[in-house]
């Protein structure tokens, strides 16, 4: 069995005590038949790969359904996204689960409440980043999808500054680099440097290293965006 099933197996314990359990119940038979599930409870205070993988899959389905239709082209874009980040075998399995989820009503508010209580803040930031990545994978801005992602961010208790920072990594405007670093354009050079150090620490891939190498690699894209924003500001302002 590919990795996605094992990820799900690692998180089914807490999921079955909430709305995620109802949505992912279809996966239980497959997981038990084809994978060694092991311990299904998350260590206290620590987000597991299974927790994160399930949360990502359910929220991706919700975002895709936000405009009332799911196109074949959208599924291809999402598959490409998973292939790029996690490899073909994992992507193929994830898409099987995703297709089932797309046929179910998703109580977004209940799901995000459960996710907020289970995932640590660094994992929630990474989750938001991946949702924007999936939504904008085709290069098109879908207003209803973006609205839902903003709702998800708020319900996950992600700060407005952090949510805007991550959004600005995907939707550029004249001051995107400053928004990514969570500062004003009038910030001093010292304030810019301090903001960069803060954001580089907040979004460093090691912050989610406990999710495993696949998700850590996906987190590196967010870290690179912070570095790119800082380099752009340095060039514009003329400092080193």
Q: Give 26-85 pLDDT, tens digit per residue.
A: 555 444 444 443 434 444 445 777 778 888 889 999 999 998 888 888 888 888 888 887
60 and 142 both lie in a single domain: yes
Q: What is the pLDDT of residue 25?
A: 65
CATH number assigned to the domain comprising residue 191: 1.10.287
Total structural domains within the chain: 2
Q: What is the pLDDT of residue 122?
A: 94
Give the tens place of pLDDT for each residue, 194-227. Answer: 999 999 999 999 999 888 887 888 899 999 999 9
45 and 128 both lie in a single domain: yes
Q: Return the ∠ at Cα 199 (arms to 195 and 205), rounded to 5°.
A: 160
pTM confidence score: 0.86
Last residue of a domain, one of 154, 187, 207: 154
The CA–CA distances, whole Å, from 22 to 58, 100, 119, 162, 219 equal 11, 12, 18, 30, 28
Last residue of a domain, one of 110, 138, 154: 154
Task: Report whether 191 contacts 179 (CB < 8 A).
Answer: no
113 and 75 both lie in a single domain: yes
24 and 117 both lie in a single domain: yes
105 and 178 both lie in a single domain: no
- CA R_g for the chain: 18
Half-sphere CA count of 28, side-chain side, radius 13 A: 13
149 and 179 both lie in a single domain: no
């Amino acid at each position: 069995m590919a990795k996605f099933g094992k990820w799900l197996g690692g998180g089914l314990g807490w999921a079955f005590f909430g709305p995620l359990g109802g949505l992912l119940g279809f996966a239980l038979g497959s997981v038990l038949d084809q994978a060694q599930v092991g311990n299904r409870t998350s260590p206290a205070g620590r987000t597991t790969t299974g927790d994160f993988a399930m949360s990502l899959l359910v929220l991706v389905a919700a975002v895709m359904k936000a405009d009332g239709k799911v196109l074949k082209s959208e599924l291809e874009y999402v598959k490409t996204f998973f292939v790029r980040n996690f490899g073909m075998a994992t992507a193929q399995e994830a898409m099987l689960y995703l297709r089932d989820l797309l046929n179910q009503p998703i109580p977004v508010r209940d799901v995000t409440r459960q996710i907020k209580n289970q995932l640590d803040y660094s994992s929630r930031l990474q989750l938001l980043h991946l949702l924007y990545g999936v939504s904008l994978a085709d290069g098109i801005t879908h207003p209803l999808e973006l609205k839902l992602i903003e709702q998800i961010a708020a319900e996950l208790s992600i700060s407005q500054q952090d949510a805007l920072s991550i959004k600005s990594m995907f939707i550029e405007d004249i001051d995107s680099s400053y928004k990514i670093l969570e500062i004003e354009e009038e910030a001093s050079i010292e304030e810019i440097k301090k903001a960069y150090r803060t954001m580089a620490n907040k979004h460093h891939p090691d912050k989610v290293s406990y999710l495993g190498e696949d998700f850590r690699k996906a987190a590196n894209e967010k870290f690179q965006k912070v570095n790119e924003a800082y380099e752009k500001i340095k060039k514009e302002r003329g400092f080193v």
